[in-house]
Amino acid sequence: MVKRNLTRRQFIATTLAAGAGSVLFGKAALGFPARSTGLSADPFQIITLGKSGLKSTLLGMGTGFSGYNRSSNITRAGVAETIIHQAYEKGIRFFDCADSYGTHPFTAAALKGVPRESYTLSSKIWVGPGGIPEIERPDADVVIDRFRKELKTDYLDLVQIHCMTDPQWTDKQKKQMDILENLKAKKIIRAHGVSVHSLEAMETCVESPWVDVVHVRINPFGEVMDKNDPAAVIPVIAKLHKAGKGIIGMKLIGNGNFKNDSEKIDASLKYVLGLGTVDMIIVGFELPEQIDNYIGRIKNVNISKLEN
């Protein structure tokens, strides 16, 4: 059985393996001032996702908690539009969608009338079996044309290939990668990348010049991660960061497995924000009050002891 509780000794060892440093923050943008690393993190600090040029708040909203077959917890509960709108009102400026989440129309409705340049919009294409209702898998240009209509936008900031596990994914998805590259040249999308669900697929990203931004699963407990031992994952994330890839941290709450454990939530935020290799984090809010809760938690994170 995998041990889920992290002792103080394990926490320190894992942190040292990462070469932990301070969080890196980008210049001011989207109307929010950037501030230097201090005793606490600012969820509204503006970061830059690697060399992609994309900017966002440190805290973003994931819209696909328990997302599959074009639905997620917030769409099934009928609260998607409300929570996305409230997240924007609170100051969050990154919204993470995917074809499999079914949140495109709700995101469009929630952000109707909001200046498009004031937020960063991400989505993902599904290329494997299952995941979406249709059997067919049209090419990326056809899919993204549909995305733009669903999201009521002329362009997407980021499009990723969703849930890659095969270490040979860059060979097998070469056609879709070339299409996405062409769409970026046409400014239909601003950046492209991948969401990985295996350590081998993540390692492949390090050497791929095509990858602009990577979603990585990271928390100090090894919960719903690409390896149960975070010490095996964080050196690869560090390599991605060094290679100039934008790093988006997800599964900080172990896919919701410790969403009711306040100590673990705080420990995970402190850990990930202290690595210095994760540009931003996304949280899948299910209730409006969770937005304020996580904003407050992040502001209270003391990362000074993890700084170099």
Question: What are the structure tokens assigned to 71, written together?
Answer: 């639905």
In the prediction, which pLDDT does 40 show?
A: 63
Q: Are 219 and 268 in contact (CB under 8 A)?
A: yes
Q: Which helix (H) or strand (E) holds 160?
A: strand 156-164
Q: In a structure prediction context, what are the per-residue pLDDT tens digits for the chain, which is 308 residues long? A: 333 445 444 444 444 444 433 333 333 334 333 333 344 689 999 999 999 999 999 999 999 988 889 999 999 999 999 999 999 999 999 999 999 999 999 999 999 999 999 999 999 999 999 999 999 999 999 999 999 999 999 999 999 999 999 999 999 999 999 999 999 999 999 999 999 999 999 999 999 999 999 999 999 999 999 999 999 999 999 999 999 999 999 999 999 999 999 999 999 999 999 999 999 999 999 999 999 999 999 999 987 544 43
Task: Give 194's strand partners.
Answer: 161, 214
pLDDT in tens, 252-267: 999 999 999 999 999 9
In the prediction, which pLDDT does 302 show?
A: 81
Q: Which helix (H) or strand (E) holds 149?
A: helix 140-151
121: helix, strand or coil: strand
pLDDT in tens, 44-84: 999 999 999 999 999 999 999 888 899 999 999 999 999 99
Residues near 49 by Cβ (< 8 Å), separated by ≥ 6? 55, 56, 158, 191, 212, 213, 246, 247, 248, 279, 280
Amino acid identity, position 36: S
Distance in angstroms (rounded) separating the CA atoms of residues 113 and 85: 11
Q: Are 295 and 59 in contact (CB under 8 A)?
A: yes
Distance in angstroms (rounded) separating the CA atoms of residues 59 and 45: 8
In the prediction, which pLDDT does 304 show?
A: 53
Amino acid identity, position 259: K
pTM (2 decimals)? Answer: 0.87
| CA 111 distance to own-chain centroid | 19
Q: Are 280 and 52 in contact (CB under 8 A)?
A: no
Distance in angstroms (rounded) separating the CA atoms of residues 59 and 41: 10
> Helix-strand-coil percent breakdown of the chain, rounded to 5?
40, 20, 45
Domain edges within the chain? 10-15+46-301
Top-tier CATH class for 10-15+46-301 = alpha beta
